[in-house]
Amino acid sequence: MKKLLWLVLLSSTIFAQSFYVLSGVDNYDAIVANMSPKTAKYSEDIKSLMLSMSKEIGVDTTGHPSSVLYFLIADVSMGDTIGLKIELGLGEYVLRKGGTQRVFGVTYLDTKLIAPDFKDEEDVEDQLADTVEDMLEAFKLQHQDDNKKLSRAKKSVTHETFAKEMGYETNYEAALTKAKKEGKEIMLFMITSYCPWCRKLENRILSQVEIDAQVKAKYVPLMLNLDTDKYPEQFAKTRFTPILYIVDSKDEKIIHKFVGYSSRGEFLRVLR
């Protein structure tokens, strides 16, 4: 579990994008819980920024007590310095698999630490405003990215059924034989079970009907789990998923390599 958490935290830094998913988030109440007496007077301004951002992305912010987007601001000790911990989170009721009762969980979280000079009111205001605006901008951009439609047609898949529903090979040797026979290259999609960006690539990109058609016109698609499946050693050198490899079926050399969900744009340019 410690290894998993370390990988998730490190990956979130590498890919510069939250591993939380904001698709389908179309309503919440916006609240500011400011525990710092040093910044309490800015609470209404922060809420105004939240409401403005929410309106921009088309989220309804009235009458939704079961779902909240919140800023939590509190004083925190940073060695010999007193700083501010600023947390932007989305809390909502979710239904666990196999459950009948919804539980309240945090489904998005972004945390920043700042150390303004509390003797300088202008510095406090500037650092707080800059941080809040940056966090709201990151939330906005991810919400827009997670909810945009790349095409009108999309197959309905889950991670457990993705390979079967999409017609991907799940054995390296079988895919290699098929690719040689059809005179195609292999598109190897490397995943892990705990990778949220893999789920995004499955649901947001590879399940799009038009993209799937382009993939299969050029490649034999193959899906393998980095941790549990068998494959040549050359594909084990990169441990951060998702990874898309384009492999020459004649000599098994890697022609292209796309690491992380953030590389989807480069992949789509090569695909087209």
pLDDT at residue 51 is higher than 90:
yes
What is the distance between the alpha carbons of residues 201 and 243, in angstroms, rounded to a whole number? 10
Q: What is the pLDDT of residue 213?
A: 92
Better-scored residue on pLDDT, 254 or 266: 254
Average predicted confidence (pLDDT) for the chain: 87
Q: What is the pLDDT of residue 9?
A: 42
The tokens for 169 are 């090979």
Question: Residues 80-96: pLDDT tens digits?
Answer: 889 999 999 999 998 88
pLDDT confidence band for 270 (50 / 70 / 90): confident
What is the distance between the alpha carbons of residues 142 and 22, in angstroms, rounded to a whole number? 7
By CB atoms closer than 10 A (0-12, 13-18, 19+), residue 221 is: buried
Global confidence as pTM: 0.61
Q: What is the pLDDT of residue 157?
A: 75
Please give the share of the chain, as a percent, with pLDDT higher than 90.
62
- In 3D space, the residue among 213, 188, 199, 207 whose CA is nearest the CA of residue 272 turns out to be 213
Q: What is the pLDDT of residue 106?
A: 93
Q: Are 115 and 83 in contact (CB under 8 A)?
A: yes
Question: Residues 86-134: pLDDT tens digits?
Answer: 999 999 998 887 888 889 899 999 999 999 999 999 999 999 999 999 9
Q: What is the pLDDT of residue 97?
A: 79
Compute CA distances 244 → 37, 149, 219, whole Å. Answer: 50, 22, 12
pLDDT confidence band for 8 (50 / 70 / 90): very low
Q: What is the pLDDT of residue 17?
A: 56
pLDDT at residue 221 is higher than 90:
yes
Question: Residues 206-215: pLDDT tens digits?
Answer: 988 888 999 9
